[in-house]
Copies of this chain bind each other. A is one copy, B any other.
Amino acid sequence: MKIGILTSGGDCPGLNAVIRGAVLKGERVHDAEFVGIRNGWNGLVEGEFITLDRHSVRGLSGQGGTILGSSRTNPFEGANGGPENIQRTLDAEGIDAVIAIGGEGTLTAAHRLTEAGLKIVGVPKTIDNDLEATDYSFGFNTAVEIATEAIDRLRTTAESHGRCMVVEVMGRHVGWIALHSGMAGGAHAILIPEQPKTIEQICEWVEHVRARGRAPVIVVSEGFLLSGMEQAHSHKGLDAFDRPRLGGISEIIAPLIEETTGIESRATVLGHTQRGGAPSAYDRVLATRLGMAAVDAIYAEQWGSMVSLRGTEIEVVSIAAATIGLKKVSPVRYDEAAVLFG
């Protein structure tokens, strides 16, 4: 059996570990052959392939990025897009099945293609951890560790100058990175898309912290919305790729805090550093296990399914069930963290 692998969408620490896990499991256990599909769906649409064997995955478990490259190509668009053309390309290359590693968009596209008869298994990839049907996705743990280290560093400079620090982390639609890095970093307030707050509420926390003689540290998701501001619109039409360009929300909040409270305030946008570089050990293990399980799903012919983490086990679930909605931070989890605010 010849299996193609592609990585699609914004990159994420652990992509290479998934690829390595799949190739080693496939070659050793199932005697599979592999081929690398370049730049996500674009490689299938345009027919760009690279050899992918055990030598090409050597030492990849700890390497950031993706050796296959990535893109945002929609497989249903373009002259060579759509199920028929893609199937023709696969046949020409002798590819029997495909492992598609990507986020909600990629998985939904994969699912539609399987409905048209293509043989695809998905691996969920979202640094924001916003996919249902998986407890955690690889890359998230690394992003939280990096954000927490930055918050630790920013706290000392905040304390030295008696300033308020507003740290902007990734999370366009959900606040998981902010929630975890904020709890880990001892933030005095965590602002997430699921919980709009007024500037008054934020300043109340800031002043409460200041009253105790401390320097307020606020962690905010890039997708947080300030209640009563039309600022929501500014997010329109932006996607994962543009996020670090957005910056924005922390640079809107910091001056408002300074203006309202008189406390010198600074914004820091962590940006792309959260998604680059070597994956944490946690993400390497998770990604390796997902890659291995994806190959097993291929041999079990579970087309249209994806592999996921449940507790400590890797499971196979239907993509349809996994992509019904975003996994948001529940009020219960937010309130749990909010006890530590102010």
Q: Does A236 make an interface contact (CB < 8 A)?
A: no
Q: Does A88 make an interface contact (CB < 8 A)?
A: no
Q: Are A281 and B145 touching (Cβ within 8 A)?
A: yes
User: For residue A159, which residues in chain B have a CB less than 8 angstroms away from its CB?
Assistant: 65
Q: Are A181 and B281 touching (Cβ within 8 A)?
A: yes
Q: Which of B7, B62, B157, B270 contacts A65 (CB 8 A)?
A: B157
Given A63-B156, A152-B62, A160-B65, A272 and B268 contact (CB-CB distance below 8 Å): yes
For this chain, the copies found in one complex come to 4
Closest to A244 in B: B266
Q: Give 10 CB contacts A-B under 8 Å.
A: A21-B340, A66-B160, A148-B281, A149-B281, A161-B241, A180-B281, A183-B288, A183-B289, A245-B266, A292-B339
Q: Does A59 make an interface contact (CB < 8 A)?
A: yes
Q: Which of B154, B277, B340 contacts A156 (CB 8 A)?
A: B277
Q: Does A61 make an interface contact (CB < 8 A)?
A: yes
Which residues 143-199 of A sit at the B interface, judged by CB distance below 8 A?
Answer: 144-150, 152-162, 165, 180-181, 183-186
Q: Shortest Cβ distance from A337 into chain B, in angstroms? A: 9
Q: Which of B58, B63, B154 contacts A272 (CB 8 A)?
A: B154
Q: Does A11 make an interface contact (CB < 8 A)?
A: yes
Q: Shortest Cβ distance from A177 into chain B, in angstroms? A: 10
Closest 6 CB pairs of A and B: A153-B277, A64-B156, A65-B156, A153-B276, A184-B281, A11-B160
Given A150-B273, A273-B268, A339-B292, A70 and B155 contact (CB-CB distance below 8 Å): no
Q: Which of B160, B272, B310 contacts A311 (CB 8 A)?
A: B310
Give the docked Cα–Cα distance between A97 and B7 (Å): 46
